[in-house]
Amino acid sequence: DPCYNYKNLSDASRKSSYKISVDQCDDKLQKGWYRFVGAAGTKMPTTRVPAFSCGTVFSGWLMREDAPPSRKVCFSDKNTGCKNTVSIYEKECGSYHIYKLYPTNCPRRYCGSD
């Protein structure tokens, strides 16, 4: 059960409110289940996160058009659209959610929020 077998994402620069762009990306992220914890927030945001947030250029957030378990992540462009989207999975584990994430191209990164 992935609810008992996941990795934590806790870096403060991953939070959607973090505005200093250091061009980090998730190209080295291993495919697997992740939980947002601590300074990174508790879940992925479901409202648009502007580009140049979360310590990267193209900020990743969950689009509302779909429902779990299959979700789409929008990586915000510099206007109001998506630079691109990727499919991930979301699983509810009681009081928290985990996400099956995949490596991204640079400079794209998954964001967290409260």
Q: How far is CA 103 from the centre of its chain?
A: 11
Instruction: Give the Cα separation of 44 and 16 in Å (integer).
Output: 9
Domains of the chain by residue range: 2-110
- Write the pLDDT tens digit of every residue in 45-103: 999 999 999 999 999 999 987 777 999 999 999 888 899 999 999 999 999 999 999 99
pTM of the model: 0.94
Distances (CA, A) of 31 to 4, 21, 25: 16, 24, 14
